[in-house]
């Protein structure tokens, strides 16, 4: 077989993809990971992690991911720092375009994760990278001593708000309901932090300013009243959408676009498995992603074994 053929290709290099690669490589098959330009997935944008077992002291997302990449490579998986741009599942072996290369595989594990969601306001696009950001870890540093807003009420928003207090003078946490969704422990930390003020029952209506963002106009969802916050930054943390565009309509998806699998991570195409956030709208945790990555790899190995007869 050509050097561009693999028994298993894993698309995505977050905790799901890398765990799948670790298991596939240990299973004795040829395995490549299409990891994108910066392998590591969403955890690269996470700060402190204190709920991944095995780390009694908090670790960071990038540190955890670098360890997983190193581990996968040591066991023999080829972690490619190139983007998956096309995928043909209509013929076997499957063909994938990864960077400039055409790679083929007998089994595919999709672990492409999910991408941050935007509000969809025109003014949000206008001020993107001019005050509006989707990545607190990347851009927080630029807001030393400033007043900023974080939009959302989940773990990401709460975590971002806390992280941003390291730089900002004041953080408005804007949430559309009267209750946060974030984990209890994060809510406690938020409430104990004097720099964070929670603005309940409000949604962003418009981002305003000159060259850069100066004002976030909010609407009260109960009364319809408008309110302006003077902010130089606004971080959007309102959830994620699964990354499935490259697979077109080849695989069954649910109404939200998540890949549909059976209890053993098998998708609607035989030999194609899915793991992690791309198939999990519910838990979306690194440890769950790693768990489903392991399951997908074990199923793919079994599929290859049965195919050989
Ligand atoms: P999420 O849990 O889906 O929360 C999204 C938040 O944004 C919700 O509060 C939601 O409001 C709000 N929202 C959604 N669409 C909106 C819109 N158009 N306008 C205004 N607000 C909107 O997403 P997430 O916080 O990114 O977390 C995703 C998953 O990752 C979760 O399972 C979370 O537990 C996990 N996570 C874990 C950690 C950790 O353990 N350290 C850190 C980050 C994320 P409603 O509440 O009204 O729905």
Domain ranges of the chain: 5-115+240-308, 118-236
Task: Give 129's pLDDT tier (boundaries 50, 70, 90).
Answer: confident
Question: Residue 139 catalytic?
Answer: yes
Token duo for residue 17 = 């993809």
- The arrangement of secondary structure in 118-236, i.e. its CATH architecture, is 3-Layer(bba) Sandwich (3.50)
What percent of the chain has pLDDT above 70?
A: 99
Question: Residue 135 catalytic?
Answer: yes
pLDDT given at position 133: 93
Task: Give 288's pLDDT tier (boundaries 50, 70, 90).
Answer: very high
DSSP string of 134-201, one letter each residue: S-HHHHGGGGTT-EEEEE-SSHHHHHHHHHHTTT-SEEEEE-SSSS--S-HHHHHHHHH-TTEEEETT
CB-based contact 128:136 (threshold 8 Å):
no
Task: Give 1's pLDDT tier (boundaries 50, 70, 90).
Answer: low
Q: What residue ranges in 30-82 does DSSP mark as E strands?
A: 31-34, 48-49, 59-60, 78-80
User: Does the pLDDT value for residue 48 go beyond 80?
Assistant: no
Q: Is the CB of 110 under 6 A from ligand 1?
A: no
If one counts every other C-beta atom within 10 angstroms of the C-beta of residue 7, the result is 20
CB-based contact 300:308 (threshold 8 Å):
no
> pLDDT tens digits, residue range 22-35?
999 999 999 999 99
- Ligand 1 centroid vs 117 CA: distance in angstroms? 10
pLDDT given at position 43: 86
**Spatial CA neighbour of 201 closest among 226, 236, 182:** 226
In the set 7, 106, 139, 160, the catalytic residue is 139
Task: Give 10's pLDDT tier (boundaries 50, 70, 90).
Answer: very high
User: Does the pLDDT value for residue 47 go beyond 80?
Assistant: no
Size (the chain), residues:
309
Token duo for residue 117 = 């969601």
> Which H or E run contains 65?
helix 61-74
Protein residue with its CA nearest to atom 37 in ligand 1 = 155
Rounded mean pLDDT, 250-259: 96
Rounded mean pLDDT, 14-25: 98
Q: Is the CB of 177 under 6 A from ligand 1?
A: yes
Parallel, antiparallel or unpaired: strands 94-98 and 101-110: antiparallel
Q: Do domains 5-115+240-308 and 118-236 have the same CATH topology?
A: yes
For 5-115+240-308, CATH number out of 3.30.70.260, 1.10.287.70, 3.50.50.60, 1.10.3720.10 equals 3.50.50.60
């Amino acid at each position: 077989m050509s050097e561009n053929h693999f028994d298993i290709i894993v698309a995505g290099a977050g905790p799901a993809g890398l765990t799948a690669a670790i298991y596939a490589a240990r299973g004795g098959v040829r395995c490549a990971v299409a990891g994108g330009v910066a392998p590591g997935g969403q955890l690269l944008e996470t700060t402190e992690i204190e709920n991944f077992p095995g780390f009694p002291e908090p670790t960071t997302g990038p540190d955890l991911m670098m360890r997983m990449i190193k581990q996968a490579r040591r066991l023999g998986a080829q972690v490619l720092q190139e983007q998956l741009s096309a995928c043909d599942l209509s013929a076997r072996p499957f063909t994938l375009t990864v960077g400039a290369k055409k790679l083929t595989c007998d089994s595919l594990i999709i672990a492409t994760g999910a991408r941050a969601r935007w509000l969809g306001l025109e003014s949000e696009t206008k001020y993107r990278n001019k005050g509006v950001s989707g990545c607190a870890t990347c851009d927080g540093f630029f807001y030393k001593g400033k007043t900023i807003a974080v939009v959302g009420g989940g773990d990401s928003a709460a975590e971002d708000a806390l992280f941003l207090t390291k730089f900002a003078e004041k953080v408005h946490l804007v949430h559309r309901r009267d209750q946060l969704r974030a984990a209890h422990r994060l809510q406690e930390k938020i409430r104990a932090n004097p720099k964070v003020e929670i603005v309940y029952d409000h949604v962003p209506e418009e981002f305003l300013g000159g060259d850069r963002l100066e004002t976030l106009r909010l609407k009260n969802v109960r009364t319809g009243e408008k309110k302006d916050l003077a902010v130089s930054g606004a971080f959007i943390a309102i959830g994620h959408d699964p990354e499935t565009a490259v697979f077109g309509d080849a695989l069954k998806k649910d109404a939200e676009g998540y890949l549909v699998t059976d209890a053993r991570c098998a998708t609607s195409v035989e030999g194609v498995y899915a793991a992690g956030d791309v198939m999990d709208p519910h838990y979306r945790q690194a440890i769950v992603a790693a768990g489903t990555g392991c399951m997908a790899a074990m199923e793919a190995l079994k599929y290859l074994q049965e195919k050989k007869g």
